[in-house]
Structure 1
Amino acid sequence: MRSHLRSKGIQVKVSSQSVGVGTTTTEMSWATIEPFTSTPLKASRPAKRPRVELEEDTEMGNISSSEIDPQDSTYDPARSVTAETESSATSMPFHKDAKYIVFEKCLLSLFESCPVCTRACNVCPHRRGTFIAIDQLCPHCEFFRQWRSQPVVGSTPVGNLQLSAAIYFSGASFLKMQKVFRAMYLKTHTYDAFRRHARTYLEPAIIYKWNEEQNLQLHYLSQNKNVILGGDMRADSPGHSAKYGSYTMMNLQTNNIIDIQLVQSNEVGGSYHMEKEGLRRSLDLLEESSIKLDCIVTDRRPQIQTFLKDRKINHYYDVWHMVKGLSKKVEKISREKDCSLVKKWHKSITNHLYWSASSSDSGPEKVAKWTSIMNHIQDIHTHSDPAFPLCQHEQRVSKDHSKWFHPGSTALNRLHRVLTNKRVLSDVEKLSPHYQTSTVESFHKVILHFAPKNVLFPFIGMLCRYVFSLRT
């Protein structure tokens, strides 16, 4: 503690008597007391009357803006220098100001003695969530002041609003945070106050910012040609019992989210139709923005195939979704009798599908490369299809003939029916050669942190959590 130093608090001449903070100087400054520089001592005298019990979410009637830092008429400004506690000299914004956990007894001990006459004062605290205002009145010299723990904007304490924003924007659950606060006896506001902050401030701000950024993205795409988008739907629960379904449209060339359409199942007559409705709304938005699509990459749902075909949009399939379906069928064959050899080729078959899609320039070439797998697993590396007449690997003479399939074997026949049927060949021809929807799937994994599937949110709350997950 430094003597003869002006501060934002109140400086008065006092005796060496302890007033709640251990000191022996003849002049003390309330604002220059730094933490952990002195050991707090017990107050020299108790308060004249016991402090008022704090109540949950008390009204702000006693701490209105008209009562900020009031002074009695008998108070002499010449004896002390009073600075406005809420007009800080620093330009640091409220939300970046550091916060600390302060124990109630330690806080109230600072107001037990009058800074003017050093006698015991009447202390009356008022709390609203994380905010506390303390009225200090000296019955002897009639000194009065009110201290606030945090700024107040309008009638909303900044700390309460910032806590709600921190919980909302981090994807945390208020009810879980409330359990932590209660376990520590740390005061906080109620869930109703949290929802009021979300409806009044947080959610409108998120929607406004998203609309602003989305308009910039749409304007950028309207200036470009050959736009390639990827789309996929995420349901808020597994199976066909979902209440909400969100369709995400991403620019696969830049990995930027272009549009998110949240669809409620009762709008479209069931969760089965939510993906088509979400895609339709996204495409309508793109058309209104004069965006010309080169192609769109999605999964292989027949409903989506028919819809995009009717709208005359080039449609490609994501390779991973097709690999996932074929992989299950190949694994099932490998468990059958006399088909154990299929398990050894399982990984090679799935890799071959990726290679057929990424190394081809046309649909017929993809089909030719894909069907060559049936000859390759028999140790035959020349093919009748002119689009792919010869395997591209080095020609080798195999010494282990047991790893190859034999013509007419049960395993080979089962694989042939699964890998080269009419539907599979039709889908292979439309596999996306370069861009996939894996980035959209990664975004959906991020959403799980903000909107887990086992928690139900209101419509606007669900949409805001989807949008805010983009900031991560």
Structure 2
Amino acid sequence: MSRRKCFFGCEGKLNLFASPKEESTRQYWIQFLFAGQQPTVNWFLCSRHFSEDAFLNRAQYEAGFSARLLLRDGAVPSVKGRVKESEALASSSQQTPTTRYRHIGGQTDPLPTVSVATQFCHQMVSVGTQLSYSTLKNHVRSKAVQVSMCNTAGTEPSQQDTRLKLSSTPGKASAPSLGVRPAKRPRLELQEEEEEDEKKCSVNAQPHDSTNDLDDSPSEMSGMESTCDYTDAKYIVFESCLRDLFQTCPVCRWECVVQQRSLGTFVSFSQRCPNCQYTRKWQSQPIKMNTPVGNLQMSAAVYFTGASFIQMEKICKAMNLQMFHYDTFRRHARMFLEPAINHKWKTDQQKLVEHLKEKDKIAVGGDMRADSPGPTARFGSYTLMHLDSNNIIDVQLVQSNEVGGSSNMETEGLRRGLDFLEAHHLNVDYIVTDRHAQVQKYLKERNVEQYYDVWHLEKDLSQQLENLAKNKEYLVVRKWLPSIKNHIYWTATASKSGPEKVAKWKSLVNHLQNIHKHEDPLFPRCTHPDRVSRDPNKWFQPGSSALNKVEKLLLDKQILRDVEKLSHDHQISSLEAFHSITKHFTQKNDVLSFIGRLCRLYLAAMHFNENAKRDQSTSLEGKAVYRIMFPNCRTGQYITNPIQMEPTFQYVSDLMKLLFKKIFKDPTRYIEDLNKISIPEDRWTQFERP
């Protein structure tokens, strides 16, 4: 077995190093030694051909604490030719310059003479600058791109950690999250999968979950922090187009070693030329506190607009658009998004309460919406609205198992809402609700004046009359359905007095028989002019079965009591419109946690309050615009609805600003406020898990 020797024939006490296993570094060694010729087998280099910073333990070795020098990963030789031991010592102590060569087109040209101990590094950081003409091939302007370049002669850069660790949450404040142990903060880390090639190395990383402490984050992340704002415009860029920017060295036109790292919507490229040692780093989005801003903003955009992450993920997968996992989205929601929503809603609610305190008494409307039809509803949300301004005052979310069943959720939600108004010293003049029996009993016990919404009564009566009109003998009932509906609204709004409402309601039976004089002293005669029709088929015949059926239905004792309490001034149609808005933010079939559903209800309330007083759209001539709708296609009857102006989404911009300006920096206080909300136990906790 032959004795190992240095490739350049150096003599004396030597520390020999074999060719590295890393392909890109190995190719540089071969180019440095053989200048493009066929390499020999079993060749070694001694420590005299490397700069001082190429070793891990140079100081320990010279002090006698280490028997052998250890070469850094990725270190490359910098000194050619045979070097004697005395020359090596002199070079180390007196900092004598050395000469490096580069091989281009069969010619060997000397590189600039630079000291081994003192390395020259020219570094530029440019924001909103132009990339090199050689890199871009054509003159292309790069906007808001940070580029870091380092041209090094006489040495190689120090060891670089090829493992880039990125966290989905920032490195500040170990605040407790909802249902998560606060001991450690969740992190995401990149693992690289290397693809070896003769001239280039491309590393694609896939994210995975880990629970490393934030203190373990590499110092490399501090250099990648940037000042780009979250309001910057974003674009969809293909990976192949990005790679074209980094494949060729802008200095010597050699093909570079390119490392790619990705985490969700984030991607970064590290470029290094094996010939002239030109280096550059580029990232697709700013990083703040170890978190890519684009990932967090994507989660915020999905949540704040009431969209579904599952649907968004399907869209991204369909076009191969890189996206982070659902666990990351939920981590963003717990740590930042839900605290932001809760804080903004409480702030807006407090401003509305302070404004309503200026009034002596307020008229409110209340109604509940369940998360699923029937008695199996898990959640019920009760909403209180200020009827004069159509603003949502309060939203209470009730879980069925905490009140003994879904039938009790509406009463409990109303109680919590009224307690909120009393706690903030708001005096309720009256409340408009539906005709729920438990609500009637509770408001009577609480001594709160109650009125009924007209639409709920009209809906119940219309359904019964339509069922009656299905019989061929009662076809005349169908002709009178529109008039009976209009009479209900006219009766409610014509007078505030309950007995007068009942008298006007009873006059409907006389109208059906073409009689316009009444026996009631409060309402002896109709106010409209008499119109006598000669067609007997338009009227109910006295003593007929159809008249008896309709009269029995309209003059029922319970109906008369409800008519007496119909609301004369305000209705809760706007509250029904709010329930339609909540369908977008909280689908009935969505599986959401208690806090998740509550925050989405807050978003729906913020959206509704912002757009509650939209003006009606007008044409170019200044005329109001309407749309024709057919609510019941079977009858062919249509209605006209005014078209309002397009809604605004200023609350989303406010939430984004709150998130990145305050909560993202230190979410501790906001998480503590969210944790103050009482969360009931899930229904299945009472059963033993198999």
Matched, 1:315 2:466: no
Of Structure 1 and Structure 2, the greater helix share is in 1
Matched, 1:445 2:580: yes
Aligned to 2:461: 326
Distance 1:30 1:315, change over 3 A: closer
Distance 1:252 1:140, change over 3 A: same
Distance 1:157 1:361, change over 3 A: same
- Residue 140 of structure 1: CA displacement? 2.5
Aligned to 1:179: 314
Q: Report if aligned partners of 1:451, 1:466 keep a CA contact under 8 Å in 2.
A: yes
Q: Report if aligned partners of 2:130, 2:141 keep a CA contact under 8 Å in 1.
A: yes
Q: Secondary structure at 1:52's aligned position in 2?
A: strand
Aligned to 1:101: 236
Aligned to 1:42: none
- Residue 306 of structure 1: CA displacement? 0.3
Distance in 2 (CA, whole Å) between partners of 1:157 and 1:7 is 18
Indicate the structure (1 or 2) with the bigger Cα radius of gyration.
2
Matches within 5 A, 1:200-219: 200-219=335-354
User: Aligned letter for 1:371?
Assistant: K
Aligned to 1:66: 219
Q: Report if aligned partners of 1:229, 1:250 keep a CA contact under 8 Å in 2.
A: yes
Matches within 5 A, 1:182-331: 182-331=317-466
User: Aligned letter for 1:147?
Assistant: W
User: Aligned letter for 1:451?
Assistant: T
What CA RMSD, in Å, does the superposition of the two structures yield over aligned residues? 2.5
- Residue 460 of structure 1: CA displacement? 0.8
Matched, 1:50 2:185: no
User: Aligned letter for 1:268?
Assistant: V
Distance in 1 (CA, whole Å) between partners of 2:512 and 2:144 is 81
Matches within 5 A, 1:348-427: 348-427=483-562
Matched, 1:124 2:259: yes
Q: Report if aligned partners of 2:264, 2:322 keep a CA contact under 8 Å in 1.
A: yes
Matched, 1:347 2:487: no
> Which region of structure 1 is more displaced relative to structure 2, 317-326 or 336-345?
336-345
Distance 1:55 1:252, change over 3 A: same
- In structure 2, list runs of 5 or more residues that go unmatched: 1-125, 146-196, 608-690
Deviation per residue, 1:285-306 (Å, 9 max, x gap): 1111111110000000110000
Q: Report if aligned partners of 1:323, 1:350 keep a CA contact under 8 Å in 2.
A: yes
- Residue 64 of structure 1: CA displacement? 5.9
Aligned to 1:43: none
Q: Report if aligned partners of 1:450, 1:469 keep a CA contact under 8 Å in 2.
A: yes
Distance in 2 (CA, whole Å) between partners of 1:291 and 1:245 is 24
Q: Report if aligned partners of 1:132, 1:149 keep a CA contact under 8 Å in 2.
A: yes
TM-score by length of 2: 0.59
Distance in 2 (CA, whole Å) between partners of 1:11 and 1:378 is 89
Aligned to 2:293: 158
Matched, 1:86 2:219: no
> Which region of structure 1 is more displaced relative to structure 2, 292-301 or 146-155?
146-155
- In structure 1, list runs of 5 or more residues that go unmatched: 1-5, 35-45, 71-83
Q: 2:137 aligns with which of 18, 22, 45?
A: 22
Distance in 2 (CA, whole Å) between partners of 1:32 and 1:229 is 53
TM-score by length of 1: 0.85
- Residue 30 of structure 1: CA displacement? 6.7
Q: Secondary structure at 2:441's aligned position in 1?
A: helix
Q: Report if aligned partners of 1:334, 1:340 keep a CA contact under 8 Å in 2.
A: yes
Distance in 2 (CA, whole Å) between partners of 1:282 and 1:157 is 41
Distance 1:224 1:138, change over 3 A: same
* Equivalences, count: 428
Q: Report if aligned partners of 2:431, 2:449 keep a CA contact under 8 Å in 1.
A: yes
Q: Secondary structure at 1:441's aligned position in 2?
A: helix
> Which region of structure 1 is more displaced relative to structure 2, 199-208 or 96-105?
96-105
- Residue 8 of structure 1: CA displacement? 4.4
Distance 1:7 1:227, change over 3 A: closer
- Residue 370 of structure 1: CA displacement? 0.4
- Residue 134 of structure 1: CA displacement? 1.3
- Residue 338 of structure 1: CA displacement? 2.5
Distance in 1 (CA, whole Å) between partners of 2:222 and 2:403 is 58
Q: Secondary structure at 1:135's aligned position in 2?
A: strand
User: Aligned letter for 2:484?
Assistant: I
Q: Secondary structure at 1:224's aligned position in 2?
A: coil
Distance 1:33 1:131, change over 3 A: closer
Distance 1:273 1:166, change over 3 A: same
Matches within 5 A, 1:5-20: 8-9=128-129, 19=134
- Residue 69 of structure 1: CA displacement? 8.8
> Which region of structure 1 is more displaced relative to structure 2, 308-317 or 174-183?
174-183
Q: Report if aligned partners of 1:10, 1:115 keep a CA contact under 8 Å in 2.
A: no
Matched, 1:457 2:457: no
Q: Secondary structure at 1:254's aligned position in 2?
A: coil
Q: Secondary structure at 2:245's aligned position in 1?
A: helix
- Residue 53 of structure 1: CA displacement? 2.6
Deviation per residue, 1:362-393 (Å, 9 max, x gap): 10111000000011111110101111111111
Distance 1:33 1:21, change over 3 A: farther
Aligned to 1:74: none
- Residue 56 of structure 1: CA displacement? 3.7
User: Aligned letter for 1:455?
Assistant: D
Distance in 2 (CA, whole Å) between partners of 1:33 and 1:159 is 14
Fraction of identical pairs, as percent: 49
Q: 1:336 aligns with which of 468, 471, 480?
A: 471
Distance in 1 (CA, whole Å) between partners of 2:209 and 2:526 is 79
Q: Report if aligned partners of 1:232, 1:298 keep a CA contact under 8 Å in 2.
A: yes
